[in-house]
């Protein structure tokens, strides 16, 4: 196994024991980027000099036993809407192509405090919305890696970096993670601070992590989590030990949501998910079907109203100053959002309350809800990032969700299983996802 193939947990343990140098780990990641990124285009900025300097410092600290935290010496990719002090933060847009972040986002600062090394900035759709990034899916060039966290998912799958940050306003962590065959974790709304991250929608944005195992995704998220007075939506509740929950051995009680999800899934995705559930049942999981409440029917439409109205307000001044610099899809979304009146916006928020409460009640009846992660494998073509419809409900309701790789489509593109729990049950959803991960086993690296 090469250094670049190590998981976060494996690499961190070797660094603590003194059998792996952070410099060697960073150099291995940089070598993968140099070899592969011309074809995949997962990165906007690679901070080679900064990462190597930080690695040498982490190496000296480790040598004298001064381990900063659980991510000491671990390289991290950062989606290019997060501020990383001194690096460009383009947000995938001509509007901010030359903007240099003056400080670290809270999430980035906390990763550094835990010992992580910022390797660089990964590609995103424009302002994390609709206009695609140039990134290819590592499993099959010419297919989308998903979005908006396109580069983060592709970089982790291609073993360019062991973990990366993403954001989700509809389906932008779990969808690309599933398309690229890695783990994606979207915590409960407000669990991770959004300060220093370009917003899409204040009511909907979530910060999360991508990695190759549930344990790794939990480690990264736990390092970032916790109250931040600079983010009005930040939770004050204590952060549970997300890693401790991963040792769960008792089979979970899983609520299968066939309404909508099996109806919208492609036939091979529905068949595959049924086969996955059979494997989990044979391992002892209790599989129970759960119906959706009538309020689910309006959830997607209400989400679009809230997202577009807030997106329009986020970008109003930039649009008024230089509308022609925006991509066609985000510009259309901004201009549509400007037409949404206050009564429609507030009505959508009222609908959201009932929608969320119904989903929270549904999730509370089981250890976790499960669905296919996406309706299809990664679509061909880079003109679209795929459909977020299977993630949008949980994002709208602020619920923690995880996608784990569950196998392959006939095309040999990855498929995933989505695991969801009630708000504040992040430890439980990660524990269930880790249990399922052990039963299903890992998938190999992409045949690059």
* Residue 249: pLDDT band with limits 50, 70, 90: confident
Q: What band does 89 get if pLDDT is binned at 50, 70 and 90?
A: very high
Dist. CA 402–CA 260, nearest whole Å: 19
Distance CA 159, CA 128 (A): 23
Mind listing the pLDDT tens digit for each residue in 306-344? Answer: 999 999 999 999 999 999 999 999 999 999 999 999 999
What is the pTM (predicted TM-score) of this model?
0.98
Closest CA relative to residue 117, chosen from 62, 76, 164: 76
pLDDT recorded at residue 245: 86
Say which CATH architecture domain 3-251+367-440 belongs to: Alpha-Beta Complex (3.90)
Q: Is the pLDDT of residue 248 over 90?
A: no
Would you name the residues annotated as active-site residues?
Answer: 79, 148, 172
Sign, CA dihedral 44-48-53-54, equals positive
Given this model, what pLDDT does residue 235 score?
98
Q: Where are the domains of the chain?
A: 3-251+367-440, 295-357
Give the neighbor-by-neighbor strand order of the sheet with 206-211: 43-46, 117-122, 75-79, 163-168, 206-211, 183-186, 401-408, 414-420, 368-372, 253-256, 286-289
Burial of 61 (0-12, 13-18, 19+ CB in 10 A): middle
Res 42: pLDDT: 99
For the cut 90, the answer to whether the pLDDT of residue 244 exceeds it is no
pLDDT bracket for residue 137 (50, 70, 90): very high
pLDDT of residue 247: 86
| pLDDT (0 to 100) of residue 1 | 74
| pLDDT score of 285 more than 90 | yes
């Amino acid at each position: 196994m090469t250094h670049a193939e190590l998981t976060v947990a494996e690499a961190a343990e070797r660094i603590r024991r003194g059998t792996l140098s952070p410099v060697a780990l960073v150099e291995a990641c940089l070598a993968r980027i140099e070899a592969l990124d011309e074809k995949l285009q997962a990165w906007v900025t690679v901070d080679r000099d900064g990462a190597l300097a930080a690695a040498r410092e982490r190496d000296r600290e480790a040598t004298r036993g001064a381990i900063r935290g659980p991510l000491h010496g671990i390289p991290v990719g950062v989606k290019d809407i997060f501020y990383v002090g001194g690096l460009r933060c383009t947000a995938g847009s001509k509007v901010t192509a030359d903007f240099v972040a003056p400080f670290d986002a809270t999430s980035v600062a906390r990763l550094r405090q835990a010992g992580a090394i910022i390797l660089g900035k990964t590609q995103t759709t424009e302002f994390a919305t609709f206009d695609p990034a140039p990134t290819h899916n590592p499993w099959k060039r010419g297919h989308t890696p998903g979005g908006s966290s396109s580069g983060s998912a592709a970089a982790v799958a291609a073993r360019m970096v062991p973990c990366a940050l993403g954001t989700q306003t509809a389906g932008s962590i779990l969808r690309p993670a599933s398309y690229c065959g890695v783990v994606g974790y979207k915590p409960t709304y407000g669990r991770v601070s959004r300060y220093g991250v370009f917003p899409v929608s204040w009511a909907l944005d979530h910060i999360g992590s991508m990695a190759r195992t549930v344990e790794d995704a939990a480690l990264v998220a736990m390092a970032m989590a916790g109250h931040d007075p600079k983010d009005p939506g930040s939770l004050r509740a204590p952060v549970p030990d997300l890693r401790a929950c991963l040792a769960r051995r008792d089979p979970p009680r899983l609520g299968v949501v066939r309404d909508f999800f099996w109806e919208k899934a492609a036939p091979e995705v529905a068949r595959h998910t049924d086969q996955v559930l059979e494997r989990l049942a044979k391992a002892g999981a209790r599989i129970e079907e759960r119906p959706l409440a009538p309020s689910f029917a309006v959830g997607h439409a209400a989400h679009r109203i809230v997202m577009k109205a807030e997106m329009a307000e986020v970008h109003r001044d930039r649009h008024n100053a230089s509308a022609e610099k925006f991509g066609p899809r985000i510009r259309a979304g901004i201009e549509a959002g400007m037409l949404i009146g206050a009564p429609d916006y507030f009505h959508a928020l009222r609908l959201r309350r009932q929608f969320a409460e119904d989903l929270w009640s549904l999730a509370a009846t089981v250890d976790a809800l499960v669905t296919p992660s996406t309706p299809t494998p990664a679509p061909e073509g880079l003109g679209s990032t795929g459909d977020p419809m299977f993630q949008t409900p949980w994002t709208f309701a602020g619920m923690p969700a995880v996608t784990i790789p569950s196998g392959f489509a006939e095309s040999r593109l990855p498929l995933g299983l989505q695991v969801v729990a009630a708000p504040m049950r992040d430890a439980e959803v990660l524990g269930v996802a880790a249990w399922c991960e052990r039963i299903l086993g890992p998938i190999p690296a992409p045949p690059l």
